[in-house]
Amino acid sequence: MLQTNVQATPLVTMTGAGTCRQGRWLVRGVDLSISRGEIVTLIGPNGSGKSTTAKLAIGVVRPDEGHVSRLANLRVGYVPQKLAIDWTMPLTVDRLMTLTSSLRGREIDAALEATGIRHLARAEVQHLSGGEFQRALLARAIARKPDLLVLDEPVQGVDFAGEIALYDLIKTIRNTTGCGILLISHDLHVVMAETDTVICLNGHVCCRGTPEVVRESPEYLRLFGVRASQTLAFYSHHHDHTHLPDGRVLHADGSVTDHCHPADGHHHGDAGRAGPMRIVHAHGPDCGCGQVHSNPAATGGDNVAERRDA
Ligand SMILES: Nc1ncnc2c1ncn2[C@@H]1O[C@H](COP(=O)(O)OP(=O)(O)OP(=O)(O)O)[C@@H](O)[C@H]1O
């Protein structure tokens, strides 16, 4: 689990909030609060009201019932799910940063540095990879040092290895700036296990709590099924190495070796593998990593995940 520094005064508080269009409630009765240093993740099927809830939280959409309050002078960094960019027009990354408001050069540099794409400042946005583009959007959102970062599906178009790197980056941003983060995900990727509070939506709040609590709840299981819960169980433990497509092993300290270390715990996953239901931990008697697999206590890891290894 993440180290958190959640402070008492919420940045945003929603109480029984809902919004209605053409006589249809898009979402209703949402109670939600986000504090500094907290990561709240909205999950739910397509059309379940995740984006609408985020827009209610930051004031882009007004509630037709209930109440939404925000800290005075709250600064919000928002990465929407869709961005209206004219891809026929040349647009560099540093120009993207200042499209809607002005920023000083050093603010641009700092944000690009923090997201690991400073070297791409002059690159054309349309030539960026999926992961680089998401980092550029993230840089744009953090440049004004927001109190609250709202990220609507920030890993779209990114492969699995890039996805993990992006979530690590989001965590780092939270840890270094102390901002609150509202994340939206339409499925159950690594994000759910990396979060403080999960809110499961389906037009209303189905269930909420820590990832551990949510994955056991009957509402969650009804919505996503038992297999999803097991996948989450896998993700909710410490991951310390990643198997690269060429068979080598990338360790948490950045070193790359031909095989696992004897003390290695769990994988991040197989780099490049796609899809939400990845069962990635492949340790077994012949995996060569030197771990004892039959005794969960031997590795000190999460029991549920260890049982899956045996
Ligand atoms: N401005 C609007 N007017 C009418 N209906 C809308 C409007 N905005 C959203 N909706 C509808 O509200 C529902 C919830 O939409 P929302 O975008 O919040 O869902 P979501 O959970 O974010 O979905 P997805 O995972 O597909 O992105 C959908 O049925 C959508 O069609």
Q: What is the DSSP string of 77-119?
A: EEE-SS----TTS--BHHHHHTSSS---HHHHHHHHHHTT-GG
Lowest-confidence region among 38-42, 57-61, 114-118, 160-164: 160-164
Mean pLDDT of 69-98: 88
Please report, to the nearest 10 degrees, the dihedral formed by the alpha carbons of residues 209, 212, 217, 223 taken in order. 90
Give the type of residue at 164.
I
Q: Does position 164 have pLDDT exceeding 90, yes or no?
A: no
Judged on CB neighbours under 10 Å (0-12, 13-18, 19+), 106 is exposed
The owner of tokens 């999960």 is: 198
Main-chain phi, psi angles of 222, to 5 degrees? -65, -40
Per the structure block, which two tokens stand in for 271?
Answer: 């780099």
Q: Does position 218 have pLDDT exceeding 90, yes or no?
A: no
pTM: 0.73
User: Cα of 50 to ligand 1 centre, how many Å?
Assistant: 8
Q: Which residue has the higher pLDDT, 9 or 262?
A: 9
- pLDDT grade, residue 151 (50/70/90)? very high
In the chain the domains, ranked by start, together with CATH numbers, are 10-223 (3.40.50.300), 239-309 (no CATH)
User: Cα of 133 to ligand 1 centre, how many Å?
Assistant: 24
What's the gap between Cα 152 and its chain centre?
9
Judged on CB neighbours under 10 Å (0-12, 13-18, 19+), 103 is middle
Tell me the longest C-alpha to C-alpha distance in the chain: 61
Over the chain, what is the mean pLDDT?
A: 75
| pLDDT of 157 | 78
Percent of all residues in the chain with a pLDDT value above 70, rounded to a whole number: 68
Q: Which residue has the higher pLDDT, 218 or 256?
A: 218
Instruction: Give ligand 1 pocket residues (Cβ under 6 A).
Output: 21, 26, 44, 46-52, 81, 186
User: Cα of 24 to ligand 1 centre, how many Å?
Assistant: 11
Q: Are 192 and 186 in contact (CB under 8 A)?
A: no
| pLDDT of 158 | 82
Q: Are 63 and 7 in contact (CB under 8 A)?
A: no
Q: Does position 274 have pLDDT exceeding 60, yes or no?
A: no
Q: Which residue has the higher pLDDT, 184 or 2?
A: 184
Percent of all residues in the chain with a pLDDT value above 90, rounded to a whole number: 42
| pLDDT of 24 | 93
Mean pLDDT of 170-198: 82
Counting from 1 in the atom list of ligand 1, the atom nearest the Cα of 44 is 21
Counting from 1 in the atom list of ligand 1, the atom nearest the Cα of 201 is 21
- pLDDT grade, residue 155 (50/70/90)? confident
| pLDDT of 189 | 57
Q: Are 205 and 31 in contact (CB under 8 A)?
A: yes
